[in-house]
Structure 1
Amino acid sequence: MKRLAQLFAGLSVSLAFVAVAWAGVSGHRFSNIDGGQLAMDDWAGRPVLVVNTASQCAYTPQYAQLQTLYDRYKARGLVVLAVPSDDFRQELGSAAEVKEFCELTFGLDMPMTDITHVTGALAHPFYAQVRDETGFEPRWNFHKVLIGPEGQVAATWGSGTRPLSPPVIQAIEALLD
């Protein structure tokens, strides 16, 4: 009986660890550019591509590919989350300006956060957790973090990797239903 109790005690610790691992980075909330909140938990079971963006960057044209990616795969479950950030001093002055610019210039209708810190001590908890768990931190605008359906970091890419590049497409397709 003592052996059985030890086995169950170990099992409960293992199950608690699995539950924490299963949650991954999915428990975070962002301020929505439209007001309110965007909860990563609302997208549980779906892949989410999180991209720190800026409106006045040489990589800003990637917004068009992000929208194409979202349009192509949203019916199969993909969420593309744009996270405008002024950490690299290339974002417009207000969330309203960012939203208008993105809608008028790129026809964006994907989820977008309010202007958010993605690096350093003020980094949003999502980015802090990704950095702590993987060592990946945006070093510039348009860095990409692909979150798998179970909330794990599935892949990361730097600014130079275009949203419609083969590595990004292959990683996303591998996670779709």
Structure 2
Amino acid sequence: MNKHIMPALFTMLALTVTAPVSSADTPTIASANSCPDILNYSARKLRSKEMINFCDKFTGKTLLVVNTASKCGFTPQFKQLEALYKKYQAQGLEIVGFPSDNFFQEHDDAEKTAEVCYLNYGVTFTMLETSEVRGSDANPFYKKLIEAADTSPKWNFYKYLVDKNGKFVEVYSSRTEPLDSELEEKIKQIL
């Protein structure tokens, strides 16, 4: 090989090997790993046109997911859910209510559902539009949640706890009140 070409070739090789890699060269890999699979879901907020992107809103948060109904004996749990949310929101707790008529206790009219949640109980945590939460018609988020928990809601106000890494932690029955000491202790442990 020509003795004049060799030094130029080594210089080019050295520049290529030592060239810094910009973080802009790898954004797809970083963003794909930052959102847990279970949070790859979007739904419309109750009585709103706003869409809630779970990855954007809940990544890195502890999540309490509740299937709700506004004509149920457990409906007063909204008050405790709101108190729990206000108590731990600053530490990273998010609560998501999924109104559902799977047990035939939800209004057909979103306006009436919203009235119960927002006016009667002062709910400020995220409430979504009515959807299915069990069976083959369950929304995609609940299908993943049910698979992770290995149990579907047996009634309204079943509570699923998901940690900030998107991993299922525990399920609580309708009879477990939101301010139950066992549930509250578990939330404090994983915040």
Tell whether the 8 Å contact from 2:149 to 2:171 is kept in structure 1 after alignment.
no
1:136-164 deviation digits (Å, cap 9, x = unpaired): 20011000111110011111111111100
Residue aligning to 2:120:
105
C-alpha root-mean-square deviation of aligned residues, in Å?
1.8
Structure 1 length normalisation: TM-score? 0.84
1:141-152 equivalences under 5 Å are 141-152=156-167
Larger radius of gyration: 2
Alignment of 1:64-143 (within 5 A): 64-143=79-158
Please tell me whether residue 39 in structure 1 is matched to residue 39 in structure 2. no
SS in 2 for 1:25: helix
Q: Which has the higher contact order (CA 8 A, sep 6+)?
A: 1
Instruction: Give structure 1 regions of 4+ aligned residues with deviation exceeding 4 angstroms.
Output: none
Give unmatched runs, 5+ long, in structure 2.
Answer: 1-31
1:53-75: per-residue Cα shift (whole Å, max 9, x none)? Answer: 00010101100000000111111
CA shift for structure 1 position 24: 4.1
Does the CA-based 8 Å contact 1:94-1:115 persist in structure 2?
Answer: no
Instruction: Return the match for 2:36 from 14, 23, 42.
Output: 23
Contact 1:24 1:152 in 2 (8 A): no
For structure 1, which runs of at least 5 residues remain unmatched after alignment? 1-18
Task: Give the percent of matched residue pairs that are identical in Structure 1 and Structure 2.
Answer: 33
1:135, distance to aligned residue in structure 2 (A): 1.2
Mapped to 2, the partners of 1:35 and 1:160 lie a distance apart of: 33
